[in-house]
Amino acid sequence: MSTFLSILVTGGAGFIGSHLVRRLLKKYPNTQILNLDALTYAGNLDNLKNCEAAPNYGFVKGDINDFTLLQELFKTQNFDAVVHLAAESHVDNSIKNPFAFAQTNILGTLNLLEAARRHWGNHTSEKRFYHISTDEVFGSISQNRQFSEDTPYDPHSPYSASKASSDHIARAYYHTYGLPLVISNCSNNYGPAQFPEKLIPLFIKNIVENKFLPIYGKGENIRDWLYVEDHVEAIDLILHQGEIGETYAIGGNNELKNIDIVFKLIEITDRLLKRPEGTSKSLISFVTDRLGHDYRYAIDTSKIKDKLRWEPKTSFELGLEETIKYYLKKN
């Protein structure tokens, strides 16, 4: 198991990043954790209010596209590990503005890789660069099959193409320069503190406010859902115990159609709001399908289970109820 003295977390004020930062601060009190975040619309330091006083926590507002800043941070903080989460991540936004996704997800990742390479040089035996990616790089998959670490890439949106590109660049740095790299590809995350542009938090908000629930196509697209706390546990394991040069697929073993997710959200939210059962079903509205909408994602998690003894602990029903309670409390 690797031990690090100073870890850089990019995108640490975002959804997954804030959960990870809290876990690292608590579990590794002798490790300095620096959170680098540009605080774009999805970043929120309120997610980390209870961490600000921690002696091993630091925050810098900055952009991974600022190469000079990255070099200065590596010089002053002497990071021996990087967990790279900073990314543009919403497919709909990538369709509207693909340039922003190429800039941050591809060039930003390249900046970070190069800053690490220049600072670490040949002294990489105790270093680690952890690049976090998505299952969307694999495209859509047919029934009775699952993505694995060996599945060929077939991205269908500007978002997934930008993430696939960043994966390839990261692997090139491993093969060309010997950068101590690990990669993971995860399924759809959900849980508390997610920005309400993604399906689950957006629909909870809309149910509470009696607004329409816009569902693409017929709602039959299938995704695997991973509770964010299970995900950051897996990230922690891969960071400290994963094998250099390897990729790990992380999934929640919760394959569900979008329409079934919506029915479950309605059922739980109406119950918690003490509304009559099924009240919010009238809010469902089917809309024109998303351009290039992948039909199904599914992940084979056998590698991380076998190699690192990780598997998701949170049932979808429990995780969803905890998530809904979080947003109801915020309202």
Give residue 261's Cα distance to chain centre: 19
| Integer Cα distance of 160 and 272 in angstroms | 36
Which residues contact residue 326 at a Cβ distance below 8 angstroms, ignoring those fewer than 6 apart?
A: 191, 192, 193
Measured between alpha carbons, how far is residue 163 from residues 14, 71, 90, 91, 212 in Å? 17, 23, 12, 11, 31
Catalytically active residues are: 135-136, 159
**Closest listed residue to residue 5, CA positions, set 81, 57, 82:** 81
SS3 9: strand
**Residue 247: in which H helix or E strand, if any?**
strand 247-250
Token pair 């849980």 is found at 191
Residues 6+ apart with CB under 8 A from 307: 242, 243, 248
